[in-house]
C-alpha cells in the first residue's frame, strides 16, 4: 500500500482515500462532528488549524493542517512515480 504525507509526520493510505474536502462547508462540519461522536475522527493537525478533511473508505474522517492543494500535489506526485 502506498502512503501520502498529510503533515507533521502523519501518513494515510493513498488507496483508502475517498475524498479531500474543505472544512468550511456546513455539511462537512456535520460530518466531522458525527465522526467525533462515533469515535471515528483522527486529528492529524498537531494543534494547528484544519485546512483539509480527508474522507476514508473505512468511514474514518482525518483532519489535516495541510492545504487541499498540497495534498493534491502529494497524490499526483505518487501517481507520476507509478
Tens-binned pLDDT, residue by residue, of the chain (82 aa) = 899 999 999 999 999 999 999 999 999 999 999 999 999 999 999 999 999 999 999 999 999 999 999 999 988 886 666 6
Domain range list for the chain: 3-80
Q: What is the reported pTM?
A: 0.93
SS3 content of the chain, % helix, strand, coil (to 5): 35, 30, 35
Nearest to 67 by CA among 6, 4, 12: 6
Amino acid at each position: 500500500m502506498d502512503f501520502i504525507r498529510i503533515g507533521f509526520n502523519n501518513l494515510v493510505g493513498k488507496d483508502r482515500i475517498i475524498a479531500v474536502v474543505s472544512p468550511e462547508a456546513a455539511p462537512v462540519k456535520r460530518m466531522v462532528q458525527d465522526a467525533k461522536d462515533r469515535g471515528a475522527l483522527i486529528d492529524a493537525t498537531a494543534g494547528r488549524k484544519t485546512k483539509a478533511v480527508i474522507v476514508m473508505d473505512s468511514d474514518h474522517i482525518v483532519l489535516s493542517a495541510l492545504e487541499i492543494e498540497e495534498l493534491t500535489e502529494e497524490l499526483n506526485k505518487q501517481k507520476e512515480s507509478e
